[in-house]
Amino acid sequence: MVVEELARRAGERFRKVRFLPAESAEIREGDERVLLAKSTQYMNVSGPGFASLAKRQHIPAEQVIAVHDEIDLPFGALHVKLGGATAGHHGVDSVVQAFGTRDFHRVRLGVGRPPGRVETHPDWLLDPFTKKEQVEIGLLIGEAADAVESLVRDGLAATQDRFNRGGARPG
């Protein structure tokens, strides 16, 4: 949803990447060329397609920004970081394995855990958002897109200072 928002802002459309399980769009952030990509496979196996696209485009892992949901962050939280553990996120595990490094940027969007459950069932992650959550998610997607633009334009430290927060947006 975040890369779709970035493409929408730039008036660009995604196109199928030849011979890879991905779609891409190119935008500009200031003087920087930014290649947006989304997998056409399940998240948990998306890494090889992204790594192949990055290699084809001569984009090193340290210039990659992975945007993903994060159950270990409260619903509505936004956190930007470089590298680190995957917290058991199988999609991020796939990217780490395919790139051979953990050293890429991440924009993590908090979706929280389901109430009253010790374990998170995969179906819960695929359930549609409630009407109340849809409003918050729309705002979070916009802020996450802003954070991606900031990472490209201003770097990690400035982006973390501006965007990292632990919970839902202030009312």
Q: Which domain holds residue 93?
A: 2-163
Per-residue pLDDT tens for 63-92? Answer: 999 999 988 889 899 999 999 988 888 899
CATH code, 68: 3.40.50.1470
Domain count, the chain: 1
Q: Which of 67, 69, 111, 66 is nearest to 89 (CA)?
A: 69
- pTM, two decimals, is 0.88
Q: What is the pLDDT of residue 35?
A: 97
Per-residue pLDDT tens for 25-35? Answer: 999 998 999 99
Does the pLDDT value for residue 115 go beyond 60?
yes
Share of the chain above pLDDT 90, in %: 69
Give, in degrees to the nearest 5, the angle at Cα 109 between 10 and 117: 150
Q: Kindly report the length of the chain.
A: 171
Share of the chain above pLDDT 70, in %: 88
pLDDT bucket at 136, cuts 50 / 70 / 90:
confident
Task: Note whether residue 95 is domain-resident.
Answer: yes
Select the more confidently predicted residue: 112 or 53.
Answer: 53
Task: Note whether residue 29 is domain-resident.
Answer: yes
Q: Within 13 A of 99's CA, how many CA atoms are on the CB side?
A: 27
